[in-house]
Structure 1
Amino acid sequence: MKFLLVFDFDHTIVDENSDTWIVKCAPAAKLPDEIRNSYQKGRWTEYMGRVFRFLGDNGIREEEMKRTMTAIPFTEGMKDLLDFIGKHKDSFDCIIISDSNAVFIDWILKAANVGQVFNEVFTNPASFDGCGYLTVENFHIHSCARCPVNLCKRKVLEEFLENHLKQRIKYSQVLYIGDGGNDLCPVMCLKKDDVVMPRHGYMLQKMVSQLSQDLVPLEASIVTWSSGIEILAYLELLIK
């Protein structure tokens, strides 16, 4: 049986937020106050739609956006980790569940030659329209009150596992690697043999720690990490 590795993207695989990194393309690398102040909690994808319209209105097109996005730095040791996973695909299936968008993630993974490591990427659909503007849509509809309106990562993970069970594929362990507040919902559904791997010093680690203090501990084991090399060392022990 294989292990399933579930990755967040921003501040996990890459060491930045891809959606805020794109602002480097804007005039003077800044957004006007009316756009910056227009964000409503849980409606980030709609906000990014306004950002992309602003960039399009200022003549920023696909080539410049791609050049900017493919310069985003990877988290320390993450490329080594992905190379390791790629060499051991007989042991690991690997997916991304991210609140970024399909265009950015595809560009970044292909530029780093690591796209083939991932079996599937679940993120907000995006494309360029006939005028050359980047557009983004919500990933799905859900009823989870914890999550932003466009994406409940728990629903994605549960449906992925359920679909694989129908194909008689059961993973020996699920390992969830993330950093942010929207990663708490999916790790709540992990079982006692699974592992949640929150990035040290980031929101997910603090929220997981708070659960223990509130006497709502996770079933899964908790292994924190600061670099991809630490995750790699943990995976090496799993397949020895």
Structure 2
Amino acid sequence: MCFVDLYVLYVNECVLILKSKLFVFHTKMFAISRSLRMSRCLSGFRRGLSLSCQSGPRILAAIDFDRTIVEEDSYLAVSRLLPTRQRQELQEQIRKSGWLAFIARVLQLLHGEHKVNSASVGMLVRRLPAVPGMLRVVRRLARNPKVDLCIVSDANSFFIGEWLREYAIECLFAGVFTNPACVQSSGEVLVLPYEEQGHCELCPSNFCKGAVLEELICSGKYERVIYVGDSCNDLCAMKRLREKDVACIRRGFELFGKLAAHGRDLNCHVLTWRDGHELEELLMPKIVA
């Protein structure tokens, strides 16, 4: 059996592991796999069974993770566990190969060459600082009985899960839409693409945020949607927002710098924010309005 055949068997085995592994976000569990479809996500997008008894208009608050909830890019932060030269060489390939290929190679090198296991990777992720004031924003949104919280991120389920559990806020999110990840028996973290798409040029081939948000909007459950993000792949999701929805764009980051060029593509209300304290001040009146 050649190396390619062995590799295919290895990937298939990992996919089977991911299909059988369930991640719990509060009382509802949903399966993730490499070919995860939105309909399956929607079937698990609930914050416990109590919501089924609630009536009236609901609000969805969808939030990015890197540089929106946490202050740093989690992929770049984890790559700092590599020697400087090796890390820099990999970063030069991001534009060509993409972020998912970058972190996959980082995790492979950490485990294979440097004997860094998932526990050490998880420890680094758990220490990532939150955007100032953002934990308060999340907790305050979660206290509103009309609001469902979710994360829409091109990070991965292992990184996000580790961080949410560190701050004991995992239960506040009805769903997390991201690239699936699992820890193998060897201790290496394996990350796979959420999907394989070619229809959206704004997003990477492994994850279209706009498709996620559009499916949630089309469910008919949400009268209003709030989307919070900082980068250009968040623009894809924000373009799906309606006039009554709100796009919250972080100042000083990628998307804000291109707002002048792309602002006309947005039909929703736009507010900009520097940190969680300012976001809370600007956003909460719109939630209760």
TM over 0.5: yes
Change (3 A) 1:56 1:44: same
How far off is 1:91 after superposition? 2.0
On the 8 A contact 1:85/1:117 being kept in 2, the answer is: no
* 1:149-160 alignment runs, 5 A limit: 149-160=205-216
Residue of structure 2 in register with 1:31 after alignment: 86
Change (3 A) 1:233 1:36: closer
1:94-120 C-alpha deviation (Å, 9 max, x unpaired): 111101110000000110111112110
SS in 1 for 2:86: coil
The alignment status of 1:221 with 2:276, answered yes or no, reads no
On the 8 A contact 1:22/1:68 being kept in 2, the answer is: yes
| Identical counterparts, % of pairs | 29
Residue of structure 2 in register with 1:181 after alignment: 232
The alignment status of 1:129 with 2:184, answered yes or no, reads yes
Work out the CA distance in 1 between the residues paired with 2:155 and 2:108: 16
Work out the CA distance in 2 between the residues paired with 1:95 and 1:154: 14
- The aligned amino acid for 1:198 is I
Higher relative contact order (CA 8 A, sep 6+): 1
Change (3 A) 1:56 1:101: same
Any gaps of 5 or more consecutive residues in structure 2?
1-56
Q: 2:202 aligns with which of 126, 146, 168?
A: 146
The alignment status of 1:79 with 2:127, answered yes or no, reads no
On the 8 A contact 2:133/2:275 being kept in 1, the answer is: yes
Any gaps of 5 or more consecutive residues in structure 1?
none
Change (3 A) 1:227 1:191: same
Residue of structure 2 in register with 1:234 after alignment: 282
SS in 1 for 2:80: helix
TM-score by length of 2: 0.75
Residue of structure 2 in register with 1:54 after alignment: 109
SS in 2 for 1:31: helix
Q: 2:254 aligns with which of 192, 196, 203?
A: 203
Work out the CA distance in 1 between the residues paired with 2:96 and 2:78: 20
Work out the CA distance in 1 between the residues paired with 2:177 and 2:86: 28
How far off is 1:87 after superposition? 1.7
* Aligned residue-pair number: 230
Q: Which runs of 4+ in 1 moved over 6 A?
A: none
- The aligned amino acid for 1:15 is E
How far off is 1:184 after superposition? 0.9
SS in 1 for 2:150: strand
TM-score by length of 1: 0.89
Aligned-residue CA RMSD (Å) = 1.7
